[in-house]
Chain A
Amino acid sequence: MGYPYPPDEKETVVLSQYFGDEGARSYQGWVKRGGYQALEAALAMEPGAVTDVVKASGLRGRGGAGFPTGLKWSFMPKDSGKDHYLVCNADESEPGTFKDREIMRWTPHGLIEGCAIAAYAIGAECCYVYIRGEFTEPLAIMAKAVAEAYANGVLGEKLLGTGPRLEMIIHRGAGAYICGEETGLMNSLEGRRGNPRIKPPFPAQAGVFGLPTTVNNVETLAAVPHIINRGADWYQGICLGNEKSTGTKLYSVCGHVQKPGNYELAMGTPLEELIFDMAGGMPPGRTLKAVIPGGSSVPIMDAEDVKGCLLDYEGVVERGSMLGSGGVIVMDDSTDMVYQIYRLTRFYAHESCAQCTQCREGTAWTVKILERILGGHGKESDLDLLLDLADNMTGTTICVLSDSCAAPVVSGIAKFRSEFDAYLSGARPPALAAH
């Protein structure tokens, strides 16, 4: 549902059905709403069969990269004799993204159930839920729900009293964006600096504590019980666009819309419907200038790109951007694009873990150039310099934070060059005090 607004008829409400329904938070309330039936059903299946259902559903990772979830699970070694881990990535720090937060706030048991099914499928007896440090309320709700799940025999020595052991541990992050990157997250869990690791080895070979690990996003895991309950065919059938994108996706819409919030859509729904119909469009008298459709890390779309764009993994790529985390940042014609791009790069410069040279130095340098342009002291050559730095920062580092900082600069200059030129020529007065 378009929480905090009532569901829009164009939404396909699955994960968000109980958003706003406080009764769904408790164990009893969840069971009353059909909770834990999927777990029971899953436990009656072979673990491999559970993975097969998820594979067949077409579910893809909702954390940003869109990697097929069942396939990821199938990478976990069989009979390795080692302990396996499941990690639920609840670090949600991508600017413009706030969907995992609502899942944890309203349906904590749904997430626990999804984690339990996934853990069963991959043979993990331990699941870490890594929650963003600033999420104090979701953390308290999750902690309470986990305690209830233990008390009611869902978690612990035997899943639901019959299955294998599953311990669930909530780990609170300390407020670093990079700890949402799965290998940085694993280092952080181990008590190390949250620096991303080089791959290979991939987490399925050597993850947390060097043991086979699967990392999944909150939304990904929360979708799993629904798939088990209603079947792979049902989930796969939720598809209005490319057949490789199935099911529902939560979009956190923010910025210049009248009804910002979380909307749950069938894959392939037109982006315009989301922005103009469900989220209520721009404030009166304003027109659309730009959209960042997948959290701050993806290229910026202009109004032209938005026209006819279908919201699924392929549809957004076709328009030069990415579906990412589903954080839709909408900007109307009052927006100073140079300033907004500067704000984004400042975020990445602040959050760079600093191990890769290009990222550590390139993000900060990019900020300085943009600051200079906004301060009215930009040089003609600055745009070429920005683009060259962006080129040097793309595809050269351990994780893609560096690329993410470059993306809005490149797409911003390509699509809104006149705004940069206005600062360079002095046609637009400085937006920042000179440094």
Chain B
Amino acid sequence: MSDALVTVTIDGIEVQVPRGTPLIEAAKQAGILVPHYCYHPSLPAPAVCRMCLVEVEKAPKLLPACVTTVTDGQVVHVNSDAALKARESVLEFLLINHPLDCPICDQAGECELQDYVFQEGRAATRYADYAKRFNPVEDFGPDVLYIPNRCILCTRCVRFMEAVAEDPVLNVSERGDRSYIGIFPDAVLDHEWAGNVVDLCPVGSLVSKDFLHKARAWDLDRTASICPGCSQGCNMTIDTRDNVVVRLRPRPNMDVNRHFMCDTGRQDYRWMNRGDRIEAPLIRAGDKLQAVDWASALDRLADTLRGADGKAVILASARASTESLGMTHRLLDGFELTAAVRVPTGHEAPLASIPNLALREERTPNVAGAELTGYTRAWDEALDQAVSAQVVVVLDEELAPDEFDRVRTAGTVVVLGTVDHPAYQAADIVLPIATMAEEHGSYVNRDGRAQVYRQAKASPGMARPAWWVAAEAAGRLAEGRAVPATAGDAIVMLGQSIPALAGLTYQSMGFTGRPVASAAASGVES
């Protein structure tokens, strides 16, 4: 142990870190953020910006903390006069050609140039009376604009495309202060993971056309979530402004997606803002559906189930949470039950240099969670069963018109849905549920990793999480049956009857998830 660990003192704080750790990471452990631009933990470090210069005792010069590895007994001063002067000068140099157009820049408020200048830059420039470098805005690709005047030439974008995406379409063009980021002739920045360059850019030089001028960073609420786009389960943040989702961004998880997410996942959020939602519980009254309160709706559901036996079918989406899938399954466990999820598929798009990271063929986030809670992928068979079932529950899945026509022959059709649909007029009970953006829940990804997503926005009208709906109905069916108060309670409750989920709690899943009991998670090799 002591072999592999070395002790360094950083601004008076002693830390032990593995041999070979860069100083910048050792400093993080000491709770000190060394200002930096070109360094990024998921990219090769070229040490070009020279922002991270720190003083190391006995070294003749200041050293870049991003590439200098720790040695035992090293004493480092991140905030010595010499280090502060060097960094102040880098900031001054970076600003002389910077347009200072923060008022119209998307990055303002989450800009590392603003942050460090505010923290340790000069109060005023000495670069008076000279013109600033000017280059026109370039259209790099479907979603990415390059605003060269703001560029600090940290080359993160170039290195991402070269070393991570392995699609080297970007370069540094020209030399000296005429330099800018170029795109090779006829090349387009349309790689399936290209959007990450916007997040990687520490300033507002690479911007997303989709997000352009949509919101100021300080007006955003950010919620830790999981991308529902495929079974990879990339960790992400849902950024909302006034209850409207305006952007999805990757959230670091070294075991799943490092710092990245694919453009397909990133761009698929408009459905979270749809206005054509079911807003109140609806129950059949003659040939019409009638809006009622939740108590009446749940009573009706319980009454229906109580009077029925025989076959029941659940037709669910694998975008539903493990909690909702599990609780719905439990609601019908007195029946001869067939439960299936539909798994839409698409092409697979790996991120070249990162093992086990790809946009997956299975384009739903919770196939594994569905399987663990008793669902199969045998959708067509389940649909066949539904035709003659006593009870059919449609959970968060939109059925095609012809599918719905077949299902309506069943005894009772219960829809737990989000978006309103004319075909639902033929259902017996229609219950408004929350989307994944509107509830807490968890998914199990393809590697058996259970991960929590959190509520990013309020649900419309009377919509509630599906697990709540199912659990409340179940509570009415069986006197004394415990009803979970939260999604966290729901997963614990499911863990009591489903061995694979045993011991799973929201606390133990934390912000980066954990493998479920039955799965030896492989995960991204870091």
The answer to whether A398 touches B47 (Cβ under 8 A) is yes
Q: Give every chain B residue within 8 A of A351 (Cβ-Cβ).
A: 175-176
B175's nearest neighbour on chain A, judged by CB, is A354
Q: A198-B67, A360-B153, A365-B96 are in contact. Are A398 and B175 (CB under 8 A)?
A: no
In chain B, residues 57-111, which have Cβ atoms closer than 8 Å to a Cβ of chain A? 61-62, 64, 67, 85-86, 89-90, 92-94, 96-97
A364's nearest neighbour on chain B, judged by CB, is B177
Q: Give every chain A residue within 8 A of B152 (Cβ-Cβ).
A: 357
The answer to whether A361 touches B177 (Cβ under 8 A) is yes
The answer to whether B86 touches A360 (Cβ under 8 A) is no
The answer to whether A354 touches B179 (Cβ under 8 A) is yes
The answer to whether B171 touches A193 (Cβ under 8 A) is yes
A340 CB to nearest B CB, Å: 20
The answer to whether A193 touches B172 (Cβ under 8 A) is yes
B117 CB to nearest A CB, Å: 13
In chain A, residues 361-396, which have Cβ atoms closer than 8 Å to a Cβ of chain B? 361-365, 368, 372, 385, 389, 392, 395-396
Q: What separation, in Å, do the CA atoms of A372 and B155 have in the docked complex?
A: 32
Task: Encode contact with A along B149-173: 1 for CB under 8 Å, 0 otherwise.
Answer: 0001101000000000000000110
- Whether a CB of chain B sits under 8 angstroms from the CB of A176 is yes
Q: What separation, in Å, do the CA atoms of A352 and B177 have in the docked complex?
A: 8
A366 CB to nearest B CB, Å: 11
The answer to whether B177 touches A360 (Cβ under 8 A) is yes
Q: What separation, in Å, do the CA atoms of A356 and B171 have in the docked complex?
A: 16
A354's nearest neighbour on chain B, judged by CB, is B179
**Residue in A349, A354, A389, A392 whose beta carbon sits within 8 Å of that of B153 in the complex:** A354
The answer to whether A355 touches B51 (Cβ under 8 A) is no
B133 CB to nearest A CB, Å: 9
In chain A, residues 175-204, which have Cβ atoms closer than 8 Å to a Cβ of chain B? 176, 178, 193, 198
Q: A361-B97, A396-B61 are in contact. Are A198 and B47 (CB under 8 A)?
A: yes
The answer to whether B155 touches A355 (Cβ under 8 A) is yes
A349's nearest neighbour on chain B, judged by CB, is B176
In chain B, residues 94-148, which have Cβ atoms closer than 8 Å to a Cβ of chain A? 94, 96-97, 126-127, 129-130
The answer to whether B176 touches A350 (Cβ under 8 A) is yes
Q: A358-B90, A365-B96 are in contact. Are A396 and B176 (CB under 8 A)?
A: no
The answer to whether A350 touches B175 (Cβ under 8 A) is yes
- Whether a CB of chain A sits under 8 angstroms from the CB of B292 is no
**Residue in B62, B174, B175 whose beta carbon sits within 8 Å of that of A395 in the complex:** B62
The answer to whether B50 touches A358 (Cβ under 8 A) is yes
The answer to whether A354 touches B172 (Cβ under 8 A) is yes
The answer to whether A365 touches B127 (Cβ under 8 A) is yes
Q: Give every chain A residue within 8 A of B97 (Cβ-Cβ).
A: 361
- Whether a CB of chain B sits under 8 angstroms from the CB of A353 is yes
Q: What separation, in Å, do the CA atoms of A360 and B174 have in the docked complex?
A: 11
B61's nearest neighbour on chain A, judged by CB, is A395
B194 CB to nearest A CB, Å: 21
The answer to whether A356 touches B48 (Cβ under 8 A) is yes
* Chain B interface mostly: loop
Q: How large is the interface on B (under 10, 10 to 19, 20 to 34, 35 or more residues)?
A: 20 to 34
- Whether a CB of chain B sits under 8 angstroms from the CB of A397 is yes
The answer to whether B176 touches A363 (Cβ under 8 A) is yes
B158's nearest neighbour on chain A, judged by CB, is A193
The answer to whether A365 touches B176 (Cβ under 8 A) is no
The answer to whether A360 touches B67 (Cβ under 8 A) is no
Q: What separation, in Å, do the CA atoms of A362 and B152 have in the docked complex?
A: 14
Task: Encode contact with B along A323-353: 1 for CB under 8 Å, 0 otherwise.
Answer: 0000000000000000000000000011111
Q: What separation, in Å, do the CA atoms of A57 and B129 have in the docked complex?
A: 56
B467 CB to nearest A CB, Å: 53
Q: What separation, in Å, do the CA atoms of A193 and B158 have in the docked complex?
A: 12
Q: What separation, in Å, do the CA atoms of A193 and B46 have in the docked complex?
A: 13
- Whether a CB of chain A sits under 8 angstroms from the CB of B383 is no
The answer to whether B90 touches A357 (Cβ under 8 A) is yes
Q: Give every chain B residue within 8 A of A198 (Cβ-Cβ).
A: 46-47, 64, 67
The answer to whether B126 touches A385 (Cβ under 8 A) is yes
Q: Give every chain A residue within 8 A of B175 (Cβ-Cβ).
A: 176, 178, 350-354
Q: What separation, in Å, do the CA atoms of A310 and B90 have in the docked complex?
A: 39
Q: What separation, in Å, do the CA atoms of A353 and B48 have in the docked complex?
A: 11
A356 CB to nearest B CB, Å: 5
Q: Give every chain B residue within 8 A of A349 (Cβ-Cβ).
A: 176-177
Q: Give every chain B residue within 8 A of A361 (Cβ-Cβ).
A: 93-94, 96-97, 177
Most buried by A among B51, B62, B93, B127: B93
The answer to whether B89 touches A355 (Cβ under 8 A) is no
**Residue in B50, B61, B62, B126 whose beta carbon sits within 8 Å of that of A357 in the complex:** B50
A177's nearest neighbour on chain B, judged by CB, is B175
Q: Give every chain A residue within 8 A of B126 (Cβ-Cβ).
A: 385
The answer to whether A358 touches B89 (Cβ under 8 A) is yes
A191 CB to nearest B CB, Å: 12
Q: Give every chain B residue within 8 A of A355 (Cβ-Cβ).
A: 46, 48, 153, 155, 172
Q: Give every chain B residue within 8 A of A358 (Cβ-Cβ).
A: 50, 89-90, 93
A70 CB to nearest B CB, Å: 24
A181 CB to nearest B CB, Å: 13
- Whether a CB of chain A sits under 8 angstroms from the CB of B244 is no
- Whether a CB of chain A sits under 8 angstroms from the CB of B53 is yes
Q: What separation, in Å, do the CA atoms of A356 and B175 have in the docked complex?
A: 11
- Whether a CB of chain A sits under 8 angstroms from the CB of B49 is yes
B477 CB to nearest A CB, Å: 68
Q: A354-B153, A356-B50, A357-B90 are in contact. Are A396 and B62 (CB under 8 A)?
A: yes
Q: What separation, in Å, do the CA atoms of A364 and B176 have in the docked complex?
A: 7
Q: What separation, in Å, do the CA atoms of A209 and B275 have in the docked complex?
A: 58
B86's nearest neighbour on chain A, judged by CB, is A396
In chain B, residues 26-60, which have Cβ atoms closer than 8 Å to a Cβ of chain A? 46-51, 53
B87 CB to nearest A CB, Å: 10
B60's nearest neighbour on chain A, judged by CB, is A395
B62 CB to nearest A CB, Å: 6
Task: Encode contact with B along A391-435: 1 for CB under 8 Å, 0 otherwise.
Answer: 010011110000000000000000000000000000000000000
Q: What separation, in Å, do the CA atoms of A185 and B92 have in the docked complex?
A: 30
Q: Give every chain B residue within 8 A of A397 (Cβ-Cβ).
A: 50
The answer to whether A357 touches B49 (Cβ under 8 A) is yes
Most buried by A among B94, B152, B155, B176: B176
Q: What separation, in Å, do the CA atoms of A365 and B92 have in the docked complex?
A: 11
Task: Encode contact with B along A23-58: 1 for CB under 8 Å, 0 otherwise.
Answer: 000000000000000000000000000000000000
A372's nearest neighbour on chain B, judged by CB, is B129
Q: What separation, in Å, do the CA atoms of A358 and B89 have in the docked complex?
A: 8
A384's nearest neighbour on chain B, judged by CB, is B126
**Residue in B127, B129, B171, B179 whose beta carbon sits within 8 Å of that of A360 in the complex:** B179
30 contacting pairs across A/B (C-beta < 8 A): A178-B175, A193-B171, A198-B46, A349-B176, A350-B176, A352-B175, A354-B153, A354-B174, A355-B46, A355-B48, A355-B153, A356-B48, A356-B49, A357-B51, A357-B93, A357-B152, A358-B90, A360-B93, A360-B179, A361-B93, A361-B177, A363-B176, A365-B93, A392-B85, A392-B89, A392-B93, A395-B62, A396-B50, A396-B62, A396-B86
Kindly list the 4 A-B residue pairs having the minimum CB-CB distance in the complex, ordered from nearest. Answer: A392-B89, A364-B177, A361-B93, A354-B179
Beyond the given A357-B49, A362-B93, please list 8 additional residue pairs across the A-B interface where CB-CB is below 8 A: A193-B172, A350-B176, A354-B172, A354-B177, A356-B49, A357-B50, A361-B93, A363-B176
